[in-house]
Structure 1
């Protein structure tokens, strides 16, 4: 038996209202409540660079983990495709210095736009690749995700030094602290050169914890559209 037409219309209207009110929005991460539970930052183990034609122009899709070889691959792809106008990014981060180097390569190609499309996520070292663009665009729904830089995630190196004894562990900790301080200085210089507010480091990035603890598991933050404009991370008028 079919339903009366008025009930069909009511059901359709209810479905439309659910869509308009955001019922289909992705679930939030309980540990990182400013971010979705499963950001779309690609699972490629090394960043894949794919030139494609979109929106009437050539776009470079840059997807996956930032590895040490990315700067050279990026330089080669841009040289082979001088008509690329935009770089679209989604990445979980990776090699911090490779990210900075890739950002500088993008900046050296005058007028090359970087973009985080709706639904895509750019985290950690990807932030610095993105900052190389001029202009920089984060579409509504695109995610610019920051955290505090740390090298202590390399558990195998730390465990090995502990097994070797106290002196080796002290030496490793000293190397980590020295390298982290140097990278912080490099990041600060990079932001200045790219025209991004240094407050992004002091007010946002360095306010995040490097490692979760029992009381607070949040280690990353997704910036709002207002924040990416405030810190001049995105500098377009779209």
Structure 2
């Protein structure tokens, strides 16, 4: 894809953001999105036309073969300019691999629309968008990044390094990772923890870099 084509796609997607977010916002409660399907067993990828743009909807839990499926979708639909996320997490390693596929496509917009939600592994995948937006009525929930199977200290340390490197590559503050660790430590201590990031936190961590 040429840099000119990528730039044109980015401009078109940004101009469509207000249209994509139009309509009555649906409030999410207790970090649970209003839109159904976010916790289905496998990732569902669908193409939609919204505001004149081609949007790839990513819904359901992230499964192991998502990176390969995304490559196929981008090959079949090179006009995709934005991704919308509604996912309850899933396979962290798959999310990291899929995120690299998304970033390799160039200037794509990642969005969590009103009433939709993105948590855990989905949060990592969302960060692969060059331009990122979370609607105030959407849910961006850190959840748990660490899903190493055996939960061993070496496994968690290795995954922590992988995620830290990924955050740097995606232009996101590593303080986001520290926030996850702090919240998980608080949970282990039996303290109530709110995982959903506020609009101020989204901006401070550079999770959201495009806001109305």
Band of TM-score, shorter chain: 0.7 to 0.9
Corresponding pairs, count? 187
TM-score under structure 2 length normalisation: 0.79
> What's 1:196 paired with?
172
Aligned counterpart for 2:191 among listed residues 209, 212, 216: 216
The C-alpha deviation readout for 1:163-189, integer Å capped at 9, x for no partner, is xxxxxxxxx66xx22221111000000
CA distance in 2: counterparts of 1:37 and 1:216, whole angstroms: 23
Distance 1:97 1:106, change over 3 A: same
Greater RCO structure (CA 8 Å; 6+ sep): 2
CA distance in 1: counterparts of 2:76 and 2:84, whole angstroms: 17
Matches within 5 A, 1:137-216: 137-151=133-147, 176-202=152-178, 204-209=179-184, 212=187, 215-216=190-191
* Structure 1 position 148, deviation (Å): 4.0
Residue ranges of structure 1 left out of the alignment (5+ in a row):
1-23, 29-34, 155-171
Residue ranges of structure 2 left out of the alignment (5+ in a row):
1-25
1:43 maps onto 2:18 in alignment: no
TM-score under structure 1 length normalisation: 0.71
| Structure possessing the higher radius of gyration over alpha carbons | 1
CA contact (8 A) 2:28 2:139 kept: no
Matches within 5 A, 1:85-164: 85-151=81-147
CA contact (8 A) 1:41 1:122 kept: no
